[in-house]
Amino acid sequence: MTMESSTPLTPDPVAQVVRWTLVISAVSFVVGFVGPLILSNSNLGPLLGIFVTGPLGFLVGGLVGALRVSNRSARLSSKVIAVVWALALAYTYLTVPLVVSMVYFLVPLHALIIVSTIYLLANPTTRAQLPDNLRHSGLVAIAAQVIILAMTLYLPVIKPSGAAPGDPPPDPFPSFAFVLDHGFELSKRIPTFPQFVVNRPQLVLEWLIVIAVAFVLSLLIRVLRGRPAA
């Protein structure tokens, strides 16, 4: 019997992860959907639950479930955390360029993912269950997560397309801007456009380069450690 097996007294780890994910996402959705109906007169209030608290609750629930079963099934936890990270990147790509203030929600999420990865690699119980290549290249994975989080805070930008901005763009025009820069805000003039917007293709390219470098470094570490001692 392996540490990932289940008995009548120890629930199936996969079922536990699914249960935590569904419960937390459901609660988050209800809070985001019903709360604005009670506290706000806006018809757009429930969209908070559909597009923000629901998806974020789903991702946080996956992390919580992964950590809850990590001592018994660290391999499963590592896979769940990897999937949550990939979904978080996709959600970041879809939301931040449209609503830059989403960073207030996404930075804590990415930080939780990094902390969860560190926990798996630092806890002796979970570390012993992980594959050798993951244990040896864990620092590379954490570095990639941190670098991508930094890239999400300092975004590549371009001029808005389709119309002239309400306020003139800065001169010289920046290649990157901090996510809370006032240039992302809508102008009070007419037409109301921000001074710059997120350059999505470049942002994805940066992420892919970091992931590719991390993958190559992980393979290199695996090859070097597999060589017999001279």
Helix (H) or strand (E) holding 47: helix 47-48
The reply to whether omega before 11 is within 30° of 0 (cis) is no
State yes or no: pLDDT of 6 exceeds 70.
no
For residue 41, the 8-state DSSP code is -
Q: Which amino acid is at 215?
A: F
Tokens found for residue 123: 């806890």
Across residues 18-36, what is the average pLDDT?
Answer: 93
pLDDT of 2 above 60: no
Find out whether the peptide bond into 194 is cis, omega within 30 degrees of 0.
no
Residue of 65, 64, 27, 18 lying closest to 49 (CA atoms): 27
Asked if residue 34 has pLDDT above 70, the reply is yes
pTM: 0.87
Which residue matches tokens 């994910």? 21
- What the block records as the tokens of 66 is 């992964």
Structure-model confidence comparison of residues 164 and 93, the more confident one = 93
Q: Which residues pair with 15 in a beta bridge?
A: none
The letter for the amino acid at 24 is I
Map residue 168 onto helix, strand or coil.
coil
* 14 or 162, higher pLDDT: 14
Whole-number Å distance between alpha carbons of 130 and 119: 12
Q: Are 119 and 71 in contact (CB under 8 A)?
A: no
